[in-house]
Amino acid sequence: MKIHQLSADEAIASLRSTPQGLLSVEATRRLLEFGPNRVQKVTRESLILRFLKQFTQFFSLILWIAAGLAFLAEWSAPVQGMAKVGYAIIAVILVSGLFSFWQEYRVEQTLVALRKLLPQQVKVSREDKVDQIDVEQLVPGDIVLLEQGDYIPADCRLIEAFGVRVNNATVTGESLPKARDISPSEESELIHGKNILLAGTSMVSGQAKAVVFATGMHTELGKIARLTQVSGETISPLQKEVAHLSRLIAALAVLIGLVFFAIGWAINVPFWQDFIFAIGIIVAMVPEGLLPTLTLALVLATQRMAKRNVLIRYLPSVETLGAVTVICTDKTGTLTQNRMAVKQLFLGGTFVLPVAAKQVRQFADHYLPFFLAAHLCHDLKEGEQRGEKVLFGDPMEIALVKMAQQVLPTPPTYRRLDEIPFDADRMRLSTVHEMPDGPTLFCKGAPETVLLLCNRILVEGEMHPFTPELREKARESQDAMARQGLRVLAFAYRQVEHPGQHQHLEEELVFTGLAGLEDPPRPEVPEAIRKCHGAGIRVIMVTGDHPHTARAIAREIGLVQSDDPLVITGEQLRGFSVTQLRLVLDTPELIFARVGADQKMRIVDALKQKQHVVAVTGDGVNDAPALKSAHIGIAMGITGTDVAKEAADMVLLDDNFASIVNAIEEGRAVFENIRKFLTYILAHNVPELIPYLGFALFNIPLPLTPVQILSIDMATDSLTALGLGIEKPDPQVMQRPPRSQRERLFDWSLALRAYLFLGLIEAVASMAAFFFVLNGGGWKYGHNLATNDPLYLQATTACLSAIVVMQIVNVFLCRSDIRSVVSTGLFSNRLIVWGVILEIALILLIDYTPWGNVILGTAPIVGKVWLFVLPFAVGLLILEEFRKWSVRVRLFNRVWGSICSLIKVSLGSRP
């Protein structure tokens, strides 16, 4: 039998302990055997090794190779300036790697937060003496003494209990405090045993003595910690796309480089010249500015989200939000406010909805004992918080006291004479107070126990016999409240003559009424749920709370619409195979209740196997493994534990589920914006590549040097590309379903537009500018120019300047792939405007300052070169606008054709 199924004496004996505690010698021996009572670290790679791994990703390796080749080329031909290229590429690698490294701290921070949940000192009985020891010294078999407000230091089995109630929310997710007693439990699962106290939870009320049976990593808290540590890192869709893009572009660059190296070798180009040419091809084809621009775009997106109360802890999760297809959400503290409130009263056969105090104040005179019981019958403690008096204890009792204070003109303070504490068997609490009419007992508890003690009922201020008909009406009212997911309490009272005689105090009571309490949903949640459904995002409640409560809340917030949604409990889920779970996840309206930490992660894994992009919300320690396992974990910022926050990818600063909708909107915009600046970046790769092809195939001077290529990637185009990355979301973005996982960041449509349309036009303009300068200077085909020849420097400068001019036009064209520049506007994106200004300033500095000429190998060009390039820029604008117009026409014709077909079908179906 498990320890919670044994009697208290049997439990102590099974741990080879005594009611007086362990001997000090035995405690020392057990400490050596079982280890300190703390959450241990799992052996992981060193921080330095993880730091170095950031610089060995596939894309980074390609750049390292390119940098190495650049230095090799510099060694062989120092005058080519390839060392500058190498240093610039290394800078790109360092910036990208440093931005990514900070995520590796998450696991360590999670463990720190877990350890903080355990108290530092604990009272323990050893050798029949009570000592206060460090919590890490606690061992199995120790007898610990606990009272209201204490954190539970280890997994314990109660052996003495007086009015014990515990808050298990951080471990099990249950929103309501649970009563605990010493009697053997019939529960099959230890975690739900009514005599079990779990490490990391807290005592809401009462006093207890318990025997420790699990410490450190062997506790339920420790098991959650291990799940959090060993669950693998989830690769985000963005990471997959960037990896795919990196492999594709790198393979293409290397392939083209090798092909043209072979061509150069075949036509007897000198080896080092051919080698430098091949490196130039690779540098031209690999968009070195992609990773830094992508990272900065994500950083700016996180800043926008922070203004909308969403804190992003992990950059790729910004874009992942836009791909989310399922949100698995906790109930307590996520969909609800995590505080109890009185929703409904039943007084004298009448239902009362306490929307406002004035609506129930009219009942105060006739049902004064009911409100006095709500105000006086509790175990709350009064304290101060931020200079104000507040009540500490059970949220349910706090809600009842607040309700009574609104109704009673001057809340009375009658001295308490006696108390019969709450326990799991009695399911009620009774207190005796000194009243003006003599000692009076007030009782509250579960209706099924309180109603049996009543023989009279209070109706309109008068006592009447509690007839079977009235008793049945009270039970029907209780059932009606319970079906709404409310927690129902019954109240009764009587005057007593001998307060100290507990045996007969709770007899012949007067029933005063029922109160239905709920943990109310957040007011913004129903609209947020509706928006999620409109955006094609499924929301599944996964909670540790009672199935009835979960079902009622789900119906109230619009998460379920039918009368009988499917509710799967943790006990049922435990019997499901992987196949059964995956099939049940197809149910349209589905709720999971009473689930544990490992089960929540199992649900997430099953959804991932069904090719869903999964987001998980949570606030407790029990949520941490699932938060870490999901594509994106979302923790609550106010009510969430440190463990949940550290395991999550993002935190809702206002604990508002509606903020998730805002974040998803931003995330969807990020994907589209990445495609925009990817089109923009890849477009100038073509005019960077064509010069090398011309150099190899047609024996012309090299129109663009590698260092000039990098000046475009890393300088002139950087801010404008970033401006495309922060474009505002499309107004219709949340009315479309999530994008398919088969949809690539880099697809054929983007490649054709970037490479064969925009890029090709830019290449024509840049090469035309290059030859315009050469021909104007008297160059003849076949004539070789030295790399320091003024004519050659001016020609390469013209080629570089033409690309920059074309990119200035292109940035406005890339703001949308179908909307006209007229509709997107020229000045609505300030960062693009400033980027254009910076681009103009940089190209002027590059062309007309001595240091720009020295660093990038340029020379001043005359004004007629700029005038020569302008028609090409206008042509790019006209051609792209024509392409967009034709796309819009095709879309319109397609939609109109569908409408006409529907009309024909409709008319054809008429008699």
3-state helix, strand, coil in the chain (%, to 5): 55, 15, 30
Provide the pLDDT for residue 107: 39
Mapped onto helix, strand or coil, the DSSP state of residue 149 is coil
To the nearest 10 degrees (0 to 180), the angle between helices 271-285 and 58-76 is 150
Q: Which of 22-31, 167-176, 554-563 has the lowest mean pLDDT?
A: 167-176
Judge whether 688 and 709 are in contact, CB under 8 Å: yes
Beta pairing partners, 160: 209
Is pTM, for the whole model, over 0.85?
Answer: no
Q: Which DSSP string do the residues of 203-220 spell out, in sequence order? A: EEEEEEEEEEEE-GGGSH
Q: Alpha carbon of 898 to those of 100, 763, 888, 893, 895: distances in Å?
A: 47, 40, 15, 8, 5
Provide the pLDDT for residue 637: 75
pLDDT band, residue 90 (cuts 50/70/90): confident
pLDDT band, residue 904 (cuts 50/70/90): low
pLDDT band, residue 895 (cuts 50/70/90): low
330 classed as catalytic? yes
Provide the pLDDT for residue 115: 47
Rounded Cα distance between 618 and 627, Å, is 7
pLDDT band, residue 539 (cuts 50/70/90): very high
Rounded Cα distance between 87 and 161, Å, is 71
Q: How confident is the model over 832-874, as pLDDT tens digits?
A: 999 999 999 999 999 999 999 988 889 999 999 999 999 999 9
Provide the pLDDT for residue 511: 95
Provide the pLDDT for residue 481: 85
- Mean pLDDT, residues 122-132: 87
Judge whether 684 and 342 are in contact, CB under 8 Å: no
The b/e string for 744-778 (b: 16+ C-beta within 10 A; e otherwise) is bbbeeebbebbbebbbebbbbbbbbbbbbbbebee
Q: How confident is the model over 302-335, as pLDDT tens digits?
A: 778 878 888 877 766 777 788 899 999 887 667 8
Provide the pLDDT for residue 522: 82
Provide the pLDDT for residue 621: 62
Higher pLDDT, 657 or 760: 760
pLDDT band, residue 233 (cuts 50/70/90): low
Beta pairing partners, 660: none
Rounded Cα distance between 412 and 644, Å, is 42
- Mean pLDDT, residues 53-67: 73
Rounded Cα distance between 701 and 694, Å, is 8
Among 292-296, 472-476, 878-882, the range of highest mean pLDDT = 878-882
pLDDT band, residue 358 (cuts 50/70/90): low
Q: Is the pLDDT of residue 111 over 50?
A: no
Q: Is the pLDDT of residue 905 over 70?
A: no
Mapped onto helix, strand or coil, the DSSP state of residue 235 is coil
Number of helical (H) and strand (E) elements in the chain, helices listed first = 35, 26
Cα atoms in the Cβ-side hemisphere of radius 13 Å centred on 450? 29
To the nearest 10 degrees (0 to 180), the angle between helices 658-683 and 685-697 is 20
Mean pLDDT of the chain: 82
What lies within 8 Å, CB to CB, of 47 at 6+ separation is: 104
Provide the pLDDT for residue 319: 72
Beta pairing partners, 764: none
The b/e string for 472-485 (b: 16+ C-beta within 10 A; e otherwise) is eebeebbebbbebb
Judge whether 458 and 510 are in contact, CB under 8 Å: yes
Provide the pLDDT for residue 118: 45
Q: Is the pLDDT of residue 14 over 50?
A: yes
Q: Is the pLDDT of residue 42 over 60?
A: no
Higher pLDDT, 542 or 501: 542
**Catalytic hit among 142, 330, 642, 655:** 330
Q: How confident is the model over 553-572, as pLDDT tens digits?
A: 898 899 998 888 999 988 89
- Percent of the chain whose predicted confidence (pLDDT) is above 90: 30
Domains of the chain: 3-34+119-152+155-214 (2.70.150.10), 58-93+235-310+664-896 (1.20.1110.10), 325-337+522-630 (3.40.50.1000), 356-498 (3.40.1110.10)
The b/e string for 89-114 (b: 16+ C-beta within 10 A; e otherwise) is bbebbeebbebbbebbebbeebbebb
